[in-house]
Amino acid sequence: MLRPFAITCLPVLVLVLSAPVAAQDKAAPDNQKIAVCANDCLAGLEQTLASALTSADVDKACSVYVPSDDVLAIESSGRIREGMKGLREMYSSAFAESRFLDVKFEFERTHLEETYGISYFKLRATLQTIQDQQKWEFYVQGTWVLQRRGDQWLIRHEHFSPIFQVDRVRPLDAPAEDPRPPTQQPQGPADSAAPREKKGND
């Protein structure tokens, strides 16, 4: 005896219709986990790097990067720093010229995969030049290519560039009687090679 069509096909229809729902239910926790991971990752990098900048701690600043000769940092001035030696020189140069009074990261978009990720953000910092105690605002946009090392996310590649129609560095104090020329503006962590006036045989 033939069974009605509905009774025969019902189990198949249930399986077909429930498959996308099951896939969505499985994907949702994964997406939530990735989102939480991204937030935790960025919060950890932000706190460590901001603390390193305001305390002028070269070792702490370099601790957020992949410890490799292949690590790369491109400053907003266009200068390229390669390897941990290059990063140490970048931060040492910045700390020798300016104090970082306040540092803020404005994260815009972040995407993490299993072992690699990318994050777009803006960096805003208040600096005070050691030579004349003048205060400046340093404001640039940046990109991090991130790599997972165990339970840590570290910076594999860093690229800073100017924001369209925004000065990278602008004075916050009233101009002095004899202000420094533009070539003597302070250096930020992403701009530690600002152009300087040549002296002698330099």
Per-residue model confidence (pLDDT) at position 1:
47
**Does 39 fall in a domain?**
yes
**Beta pairing class for 135-149 and 152-161:** antiparallel
How much is the pTM? 0.72
pLDDT digits (tens), the chain, 202 positions: 445 544 444 343 333 334 444 444 444 455 555 556 677 888 999 999 999 999 999 999 999 999 999 999 999 999 999 999 999 999 999 999 999 999 999 999 999 998 999 999 999 999 999 999 999 999 999 999 999 998 889 999 999 999 999 999 999 976 555 555 444 456 666 665 343 444 445 4
Within a domain: 131 = yes
Measure Cα distances from 3 to 7, 11, 16 in Å.
7, 13, 21
Residues 143/158, Cβ–Cβ less than 8 Å: yes
Residue 77 lies in a domain: yes
Q: What is the pLDDT of residue 72?
A: 96
* Burial readout 109-138 (b: 16 or more C-beta within 10 A, e: otherwise): ebebeeeebebebbbebbbbbeeeebebbb
Backbone phi and psi for residue 89, each to the nearest 5 degrees, phi listed first: -65, -40
Task: Tell me if 24 is assigned to some domain.
Answer: no
Angle (CA) 190 168 62, round 5°: 15
C-alpha 201/C-alpha 142 separation (Å) is 34
Number of domains within the chain: 1
Find the distance separating the first CA and the last CA of the chain, reported in whole Å. Answer: 100
Could you tell me the residue range of the domain that residue 162 belongs to?
A: 29-177
Domain membership flag for residue 12: no
Residue that is written with structure tokens 């009233």 in the block? 174
**In Å, how far are 73, 135, 139, 172 from 175, measured between CA atoms?**
32, 10, 19, 9
User: Identity (one letter) of the amino acid at 64?
Assistant: V
CB atoms within 10 A of CB 22: 10
**What distance lies between CA 64 and its chain's CA centroid?**
10
CATH number at residue 118: 3.10.450.50
User: Strand pairing partners for 170?
Assistant: 137
Helix H or strand E segment including 39: helix 5-54
What is the pLDDT at residue 199?
Answer: 43
Q: Which amino acid is at 142?
A: G
Specify if 55 maps to a domain. Answer: yes
Q: What is the pLDDT of residue 40?
A: 81
Confirm whether 88 is domain-assigned: yes
On whether residue 135 sits in a domain, the answer given is yes
